[in-house]
Chains A and B, each alone.
Chain A
Amino acid sequence: MGLEKINMPQLGESVTEGTISTWLVQPGDQVNKYDPIAEVMTDKVNAEVPSSFSGVIKELVASEGDTIEVGELMCHIEVEGAAGSAEEPAEEENKQAPAQETPVAEEKPSASKKPEKKQDKGNKKRYSPAVMTLAQEHDIDLNQVDGSGRGGRITRKDIEKIIASGDIPKAGEEKAEAPAEQPAQAEQKAAPASASAPQTPNVQASEGDIEIPVTGVRKAIAANMVKSKTEIPHAWMMVEVDVTNLVELRNAKKNQFKQQEGFSLTYFAFFVKAVAQALKEYPQLNSMWAGDKIIQRKAINLNIAVAKDDQLFVPVIRDADEKSIKGIAKDITDLANKARQGKLTSKDMEGGTFTVNNTGSFGSVQSMGVINHPQAAILQVESIVKKPVYQNGMFGARDMVNLCLSLDHRVLDGLVAGNFLARVKEILEKMSEDNTSVY
């Protein structure tokens, strides 16, 4: 036995509903297929509606006098041997595909951002008449504008936004890879407060001073630093890690690696690998503050800082947890090369979930990173320094490094951050020729 539905039929070309004037059957009645079950009145016709099945009327869902839309349920009928898969001849036009999954609020809801659509940049230089006209009228250097359209196409709206912002990239001015409207990730170095003052400070240039206009990337960096420092309550901690074995490992492999792979095996790759692994175990660090909620990211995409002249970029090593040390080293090399050649795209800088900053490359041994908004933490890897360390009852020369963590105290507390750092330390100290493969 199966339960079938009898729905309101379409009784005329323009008819959308019918009113049941009289039920001709009652629950429990045995009806044959095509026996009349109800009298139905519509704007166009009055008709007897026949049963679509043979069986026993189970339930009259609609009452006499009820007006029912075409395709809506009138009654249930119990049918011998049927599986109960009532057909639904409802109006197709009213069915709609579920709305596309709305991307979870990430970063700032910048209307021009559609991360999943930005696979290629092939249309970057295909300008529509509207874009060309506006660019001419406002003297906008389109080479400096990134597009939010398909294939990186610059849309009329992109240009209109630039015009509205007043920050117009002119030809001949410093060429920014990261456009003014997409500065989400810029350099995270501990910056002197003066660089990020929110208002124009009363600072006059004296004779011999050099005035450097604040434009492009510098401006974006400044804005981001201010945003990060004013919005995020920073907390800070540091651990000291013994990487003597790691140094031996790396020194043993680096020459052969360079020969084989054609690029360098840097210490930084090992640190990134260790951080990625620890983040997998402490996803709290791999998260973002989103106002009324905290979003823990599944993907582990690590921003790294890359310098070029007076600019600093933070490109992303994607899915770092899935990559070998070699894979990470390769990414680092590629991104660094791109940065030096001015070839980084906004795509290269999007989607980071945590930042690892190689401050050690400047000889720094301690620093306080400014969190890469809206991430929850940033880790500074300082210089590896030989130090006398008391170990196993005696002093010995060990390779030591400081790892400095800045954390968003809204998202994280000392305990979880401390555990995370301890875990990174543990992973690094266990790296040795015996148990670590770079491949």
Chain B
Amino acid sequence: MAVISYIQAVTQALKEEMKRDEKVFVLGEDVGKRGGVFRATDGLYDEFGEDRVLDTPLAESAIAGVGIGAAMYGMRPVAEMQFADFIMPAVNQIISEAAKIRYRSNNDWSAPITIRAPYGGGVHGALYHSQSVEAVFANQPGLKIVMPSTPYDVKGLLKASIRDNDPVLFFEHKRAYRLIKGEVPDEDYTLPIGKADVKREGSDITVITYGLCVHFALQAAEKLAEEGIDAHILDLRTVYPLDKEGIIEAASKTGKVLLVTEDNKEGGIISEVSAIISENCLFDLDAPVQRLAGPDVPSMPYAPTMEKHFMMNPDKVEKAMRDLAEF
């Protein structure tokens, strides 16, 4: 097994899927010749040509809408939003259209589109290159939202997203792109959308999180292990619809649950996770469910001091984990 970066896993999945199925194509801003501003589609233009690696006009609603049209026809478009922050003009297409096409047509039509977007902060990206936008879409039945944490999960889940017969939002943490490396099998494999994954077994506290924060929690857990605190870490991987069984199992295991996200605190994914736990796990709970999240300000400021204040990091996670362990 090769060790590759998170973004290389994206590229590898795209490449393999495009080879496997001629109906798979990529569209977005700068995805062609440039290979994407983050280089996620690096090399695809040369290999598959401009018709299947389509540089679109700078218009996000069209990127989504045209992709949806092609998907309804029977193609497998993979649309790239250059930054998750720029998905907003496409929200109508994603929520009013993609999410509802199967339902509103009583299963006559479907829109198997995958929309990829880099999200997340800690990269000096300021308000409009740092956002987490999953909560905007996470009460839209018909959508699936995948947010992987490791290169292995990226490849398996991106392939699964492309093959899925419903629309999938695939959010990639831009800081993870080159920071996170891991072993990825060369062969073809997929991972199930809608299933959370236990990233660390433990018995004292449960941390439920997703994306880059999974790594923060894992780092913190290793330190805390030296103090005798044994953390159980569940990576949601799919943040909508949520793996309720997986959440209930992980929460019940220790009865002490810390939920972590770098998104704003109120109204986020972890709020829903908290609700699932409180609905199902009351008699297993040994402590109030804790949320550790970004503050409720619009987004991450540019200046390093303020960015750091907003951004999640291993220290913040470690502190919250220890605090809960001692409860």
Q: Touch between A and B in complex, CB under 8 Å?
A: yes
B326, chain A: closest CB distance, angstroms: 5
> Whose C-beta in chain B lies nearest to the C-beta of A131?
B286
> Whose C-beta in chain B lies nearest to the C-beta of A13?
B123
Complexed CA–CA distance, A99 and B314 (Å): 12
> Whose C-beta in chain B lies nearest to the C-beta of A133?
B283
**B179: which A residues are within 8 A, CB to CB?**
14, 16
Contact B175–A130 (Cβ < 8 Å): no
Mark contacts of B153-170 with chain A using CB atoms, 8 A cut-off: 1 yes-contact digit, 0 otherwise.
Answer: 000000000000000000
Contact B227–A102 (Cβ < 8 Å): yes
Q: Is B50 an interface residue (CB 8 A)?
A: no
**A15: which B residues are within 8 A, CB to CB?**
178
**B286: which A residues are within 8 A, CB to CB?**
128-131, 155-157
Contact B284–A149 (Cβ < 8 Å): no
Say which residue of A14, A93, A128 sits within 8 Å of B177 (CB atoms). Answer: A14
**A153: which B residues are within 8 A, CB to CB?**
327
Contact A14–B38 (Cβ < 8 Å): yes
Assuming A14-B123, A111-B228, is B315 touching A96 (CB within 8 A)?
yes
> Whose C-beta in chain B lies nearest to the C-beta of A103?
B227
**B37: which A residues are within 8 A, CB to CB?**
44
Q: Secondary structure at chain B's binding surface: helix, strand, loop or mixed?
A: loop
Complexed CA–CA distance, A14 and B10 (Å): 14
Say which residue of A10, A93, A99, A130 sits within 8 Å of B255 (CB atoms). Answer: A130
Q: Is A150 an interface residue (CB 8 A)?
A: yes
Please give the number of chain B residues whose Cβ is less than 8 angstroms from any Cβ of chain A in the complex: 42
Say which residue of B38, B174, B219, B287 sits within 8 Å of A128 (CB atoms). Answer: B287
Q: Secondary structure at chain A's binding surface: helix, strand, loop or mixed?
A: loop
Q: Is B226 an interface residue (CB 8 A)?
A: yes
Please give the number of chain A residues whose Cβ is less than 8 angstroms from any Cβ of chain B in the complex: 32
Contact A117–B227 (Cβ < 8 Å): no
Contact A92–B313 (Cβ < 8 Å): yes
Say which residue of A14, A16, A43, A92 sits within 8 Å of B118 (CB atoms). Answer: A14
Q: Is B124 an interface residue (CB 8 A)?
A: yes
Contacting residues of chain B (304-326) with chain A, CB-CB under 8 angstroms:
304, 308, 311, 313-315, 318, 322, 326
**A114: which B residues are within 8 A, CB to CB?**
326
Mark contacts of A24-46 with chain B using CB atoms, 8 A cut-off: 1 yes-contact digit, 0 otherwise.
Answer: 00000000000000000001100
Q: Is B200 an interface residue (CB 8 A)?
A: no
Complexed CA–CA distance, A100 and B318 (Å): 11
Q: Is A210 an interface residue (CB 8 A)?
A: no
Contacting residues of chain B (146-200) with chain A, CB-CB under 8 angstroms:
174-175, 177-179
A434, chain B: closest CB distance, angstroms: 52
Complexed CA–CA distance, A44 and B255 (Å): 44
Complexed CA–CA distance, A157 and B230 (Å): 12
Complexed CA–CA distance, A16 and B38 (Å): 12
> Whose C-beta in chain A lies nearest to the C-beta of B316?
A93
User: Shortest 4 CB-CB distances between A and B: which pairs?
Assistant: A156-B286, A14-B177, A13-B123, A16-B178
6 contacts between A and B (CB under 8 A): A15-B178, A17-B178, A99-B226, A130-B255, A156-B284, A157-B203
- Starting from the known contacts A14-B177, A96-B314, 19 additional A-B residue pairs (CB-CB under 8 Å) come to A13-B38, A13-B125, A14-B7, A14-B175, A14-B178, A15-B178, A92-B308, A92-B313, A95-B315, A99-B226, A109-B228, A114-B326, A130-B255, A133-B283, A133-B284, A149-B327, A150-B326, A155-B286, A156-B284
A-side residues, CB < 8 A to B, are 10, 13-17, 43-44, 92-97, 99-100, 102, 109, 111, 114, 117, 128-131, 133, 149-150, 153, 155-157
